Each structure stands twice: as structure tokens, then as C-alpha cells.
């Protein structure tokens, strides 16, 4: 039976409170009145009822940041006036929690030790030695957040506005659906076999011997294809089965089984797997499948098309020649889309040439490789030159990848000694600010501030701008307030020791 016990049983919490040997006063930094009550109400009350219990003043909710109503200096001053230890904590950020408990335990042990020893001295009690100040923990370095890939979204936008389409699907003679060979061939081996013929064998596929012939495609023996014909010089036409629309149109649950059938026809096993997961209630698996498939498609696009003169329609002259495709660059980069504009259709039969001055071939090729594959060899290129290009061409995700790589380079370079490291972190800060690399700027600020003592002795410290220097000094670690507390502690300790020997 669920009944209350006939006798009262103290809870664990009540048992703990009964033996409390150290008092803690929590102050919310959001409420200035909370701090005022400490001095006027809580400390006097505690000292009246528990005069032998040490007290620690704890500031809570410091995650609110610089907008706090109660600053560290204000809280520390109140604690000093009352003769209390002062610590700042944030349960949300797990800041100062362990240090706070360590201080409380130390105060409790020291209090018990003093109480035990005192009766042995008949000559009177010795005043407790001052407690050393607690060094506030350094803030964690800001994380470099990498923007989510827009590779799929960029190509979906290109499909919805197919101004650069180079293939048209004729569905039962009633509806034309425009597409891009480069996307189809990168995503599907089936379409690579078709494109081996459609481009007059210019495209060297990985398995050219398996390309369909014109006779194959027009004979009706190739599943899913009724006929293929040339539609002018720019666009090839494919007459396909009606259900091909399911590859592009938004579909509902009733059409999933039809989509599975079409996916089988066009040899898209991953799409079949995704559809089957939807039917069996395991669609939560589709995210990882999509990520893997996208990475594979990205890599295939780079391998088949990047810097391949056979199919290129634009050449960048930067040191040497780099061959590219306007449809890829326009889909992935707004600046390049504006650069090519409406000239794409007019000049499609002509390979355009673009001069790129004041840029190394290595870095510009890395930028183009990123546009094709969503990955870039950031470890093999000049990080800041690539950051400059990413800023110029509006590639924020590429900039994030470079920022992350630079922070790793800095950490490797200073692993043994920050003060004598060859890398110029202050110079990196100034470059990051110049090229709008905001996350890297914040990271460098934090790194220099939390290693202030090491950096203030370096030659390049004098090169800091006035604004940067002020920020670093205001946020230096250990903070100036702690250094002052250390000096005060040393002075008090000397005075106590003198008193003991008098």
C-alpha cells in the first residue's frame, strides 16, 4: 500500500543541511538588489546565527555577458569589504563550478583545522592566514563555425531557372524538362553512358566502351529512352517515358512506389533506398545517405569535368590555363553568374577566356576546385590568399574552412613555446580583419588576450592598432583585477607572518 510512514524520516538534503560546515551566498548578476541584500541582510544574519562558519560569495548566471548589471569588479569589492571569498559561476556554461566547489571544500577544511588546533594554545588564538585569491578560468576559445554546404541548394536553384540547360527531356511529346549534362553525368553512370554519345565522344567517361550508340537509343531497347535527337547546336533532346517527371517534381506518398520503378530504370540505387526508407518508416536514415551521395557526386563532378578542355566553355588565364564550365560557376558563385550574364547563350559555341590578374594559379585553382566539389585543398595553399579570394567571390563557407585551417596552423606552431614561436599571430589578426574573416579575428583576439604575458614581450606587439591594443588589454588573462588581488594577498601574508613572530 502507498501510505506515508507513521514516523517522519529526514530527507538526504535535510541531513546534509544539518551538518553544513560552510555557508554559500548566491548572487544573481542580473539583479543589483541581490548584491545589495548580501551586505545589508544575509551576511549579518549568517554571522549572527553561524559565527564560526566561513562564507563564500558566489555570483551566478555570468553567461549573460557584458550586459551584466553586476560586474566582476563590483562583486569582488563587496566581497573584500565583507572579508569573503568571491567566485563567478555559470551552470549553463559549466564555468567556475568545479573551482567553486574546490574553494568551498578548502574553506571548510581550513575552518575545521583552525577549530581543532586552537585549544592547544594557551597563549591565545592565532588569526587565520589570508586565503590566496582564486585565478578565474580563462574563457574558452570561440569556435569556428563552418557554414552548411549549399551545393544541393545551388544546383536546385539552377534547375528551377535553367538558363544554362544543355539537355531537354521530352516527356510523351507533351512536356519538356530542361536539365544539365554535367549534373546528370556526375550523379548517374547511366547518363554517363548516354552522354558518351551525345557529346560526339568529347567526354571521356570512365567506361567509354559501354556508351550507348545512336542506334541503341533510337531502337527502343534502352529502358526509359524512346529516342534521342539533336535540337540545334546547344541542346540535345531525349524523348523519355512519362514517369520521368517523378525525378524532378515534388512527390507525395502515393507516388513513392512509382519513383522506385523509375529509379530502377535509370540505375539510381541510392534513390531506391531512400524511397524504401520512406515506405518503411525509416526515413531518418535518409539524411546520412544524402550526405554520402552528395559527397560522391561532388567528387565525380570534379574528376570528370574540372580542368578538362574537352567539354569546357570558359578558360581562366592565371599563370597558365584552367578550363571550366560556365553553368557550374554560375550556379555556385553569384559574382561569376553576373560576370557571364546573358552572354552564355550567345557565346556558347565559343570558349570564353578570362584574365585573372594579381592572383596565384595555385590559389585560384583551389577556389575553382571548391566550386566544383565543395572541398578545397586548404592545407596546400596560402591560407590568407585563399581567404582573400573567398571574400572577393562571396564564398563564405570556403572562408570558414580557411579560418579553421589557420587556427589549427597556429596551434601547431605554438605547441612548445608561444613567446618564441615563429608564427605571427598579431599579423594574422590584422590580415583577418582586412579580409573580413570575422571568426578568425575573434579567435586571434582571444588567443592573444589569454596569452597576454607572452605576447606583450614580442616585437610585433608594438604593431597593434590602438583599438586592437585597448581590446586585448581590457580582456587580458589573467585579468588585472586578479593581479591586484595577488599583490594584496602577498602584502597581507607578509603582515600576518610578522605578527606571528612578534
**Pairwise pLDDT comparison (125 vs 231), residue with the higher score:** 231
Domains and CATH numbers, the chain: 12-120 (3.40.50.300), 151-305 (3.30.710.10)
**Euclidean distance between CA atoms 56 and 43, whole angstroms:** 10
What confidence tens digit (pLDDT) does each residue in 236-267 have? 554 444 333 333 345 577 788 888 888 888 88
pLDDT over 80 (residue 233)? no
pLDDT number for residue 57: 84
Burial tier of 9 (Cβ tally within 10 Å: 0-12, 13-18, 19+)? exposed
* Element housing 300 (H / E): helix 286-305
Look at residues 60, 452, 262, 403 and name the one whose alpha carbon lies nearest to residue 461: 452
Cα R_g (the chain), whole angstroms:
35
pLDDT number for residue 306: 93
What confidence tens digit (pLDDT) does each residue in 287-324 have? 888 888 888 888 999 999 999 998 888 999 998 999 99
The one-character DSSP state at 255 is: G
What confidence tens digit (pLDDT) does each residue in 441-477 have? 999 999 999 999 899 989 999 999 999 999 999 999 9
What confidence tens digit (pLDDT) does each residue in 74-120 have? 888 888 888 888 888 887 777 878 887 888 788 777 766 554 444 44
Q: Cα 76 vs. chain centroid, distance in angstroms?
A: 35
**Euclidean distance between CA atoms 464 and 435, whole angstroms:** 17
Q: Cα 203 vs. chain centroid, distance in angstroms?
A: 38
What confidence tens digit (pLDDT) does each residue in 470-501 have? 999 999 998 988 888 889 888 888 887 777 66
% residues pLDDT > 70 (the chain): 75
Alpha helices in 9-123 (DSSP H): 12-18, 32-37, 43-49, 72-82, 97-117
Q: Cα 3 vs. chain centroid, distance in angstroms?
A: 54
Q: Average pLDDT over the chain, rounded to whole?
A: 78
Q: Is residue 332 very low, low, confident or very high in pLDDT (cuts 50, 70, 90)?
A: very high
Look at residues 284, 350, 286 and name the one whose alpha carbon lies nearest to residue 315: 350
**Pairwise pLDDT comparison (161 vs 426), residue with the higher score:** 426
- When pLDDT is averaged across residues 354-380 and rounded to a whole number, the result is 92
pLDDT over 80 (residue 129)? no
Look at residues 204, 202, 165 and name the one whose alpha carbon lies nearest to residue 327: 165
pLDDT number for residue 112: 61
Burial tier of 422 (Cβ tally within 10 Å: 0-12, 13-18, 19+)? exposed
Amino acid at each position: 500500500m502507498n501510505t506515508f510512514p507513521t514516523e517522519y524520516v529526514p530527507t538526504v538534503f535535510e541531513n546534509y543541511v544539518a551538518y553544513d560546515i560552510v555557508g554559500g551566498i548566491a548572487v544573481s548578476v542580473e539583479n543589483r538588489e541581490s548584491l545589495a541584500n548580501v551586505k545589508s541582510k544575509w551576511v549579518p544574519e549568517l554571522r549572527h546565527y553561524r559565527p564560526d562558519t566561513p562564507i563564500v560569495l558566489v555570483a551566478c548566471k555570468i553567461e549573460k555577458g557584458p550586459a551584466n548589471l553586476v560586474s566582476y569588479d563590483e562583486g569582488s569589492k563587496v566581497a573584500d569589504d565583507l572579508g569573503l571569498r568571491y567566485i563567478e559561476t555559470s551552470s549553463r556554461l559549466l564555468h567556475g563550478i568545479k573551482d567553486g566547489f574546490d574553494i568551498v571544500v578548502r574553506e571548510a577544511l581550513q575552518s575545521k583545522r583552525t577549530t581543532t588546533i586552537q585549544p592547544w594554545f594557551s597563549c591565545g588564538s592565532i588569526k587565520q592566514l589570508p586565503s590566496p585569491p582564486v585565478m578565474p578560468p580563462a574563457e574558452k576559445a570561440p569556435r569556428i563555425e563552418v557554414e552548411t554546404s549549399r551545393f544541393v541548394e545551388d544546383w536546385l536553384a539552377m534547375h528551377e531557372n535553367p538558363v544554362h540547360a544543355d539537355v531537354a527531356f521530352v516527356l510523351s511529346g507533351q512536356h519538356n524538362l530542361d536539365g544539365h549534362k554535367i549534373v546528370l553525368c556526375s550523379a548517374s553512370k547511366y547518363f554517363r553512358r548516354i552522354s558518351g554519345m551525345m557529346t560526339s565522344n568529347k567526354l571521356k567517361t570512365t567506361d567509354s566502351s559501354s556508351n550507348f550508340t545512336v542506334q541503341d537509343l533510337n531502337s527502343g531497347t534502352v529502358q526509359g529512352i524512346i529516342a534521342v535527337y539533336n535540337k540545334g547546336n546547344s541542346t540535345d533532346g531525349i524523348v523519355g517515358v512519362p514517369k520521368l517527371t517523378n525525378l524532378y517534381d515534388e512527390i507525395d506518398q502515393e507516388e513513392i512506389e512509382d519513383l522506385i520503378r523509375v529509379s530502377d530504370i535509370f540505375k539510381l540505387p541510392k534513390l531506391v533506398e531512400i524511397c524504401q526508407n520512406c515506405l518503411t518508416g525509416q526515413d531518418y536514415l535518409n539524411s546520412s545517405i544524402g550526405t554520402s551521395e552528395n559527397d560522391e557526386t561532388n567528387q565525380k563532378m570534379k574528376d570528370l569535368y574540372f580542368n578538362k578542355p574537352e567539354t569546357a566553355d570558359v578558360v581562366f588565364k592565371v599563370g597558365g590555363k584552367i578550363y571550366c564550365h560556365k553553368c557550374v560557376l554560375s550556379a555556385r558563385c553569384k559574382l561569376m553568374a553576373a560576370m557571364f550574364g546573358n552572354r552564355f547563350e550567345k557565346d556558347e559555341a565559343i570558349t570564353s577566356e578570362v584574365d585573372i590578374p594579381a592572383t596565384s594559379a595555385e590559389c585560384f585553382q583551389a577556389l575553382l576546385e571548391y566550386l566544383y566539389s565543395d572541398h578545397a585543398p586548404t592545407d596546400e595553399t596560402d591560407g590568407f590568399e585563399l581567404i582573400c579570394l573567398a571574400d572577393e567571390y562571396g564564398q563564405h563557407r570556403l572562408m570558414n574552412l580557411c579560418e579553421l585551417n589557420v587556427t589549427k596552423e597556429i596551434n601547431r606552431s605554438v605547441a612548445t613555446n608561444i613567446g618564441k614561436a615563429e608564427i605571427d599571430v598579431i599579423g594574422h589578426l590584422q590580415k583577418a580583419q582586412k579580409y573580413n574573416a570575422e571568426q578568425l579575428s575573434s579567435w586571434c583576439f582571444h588567443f592573444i588576450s589569454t596569452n597576454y604575458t607572452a605576447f606583450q614581450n614580442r616585437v610585433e606587439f608594438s604593431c597593434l592598432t590602438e583599438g586592437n591594443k585597448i581590446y586585448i588589454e581590457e580582456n587580458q588573462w589573467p585579468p588585472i583585477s586578479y593581479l591586484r588581488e595577488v599583490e594584496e594577498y602577498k602584502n597581507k601574508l607578509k603582515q600576518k607572518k610578522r605578527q606571528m613572530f612578534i
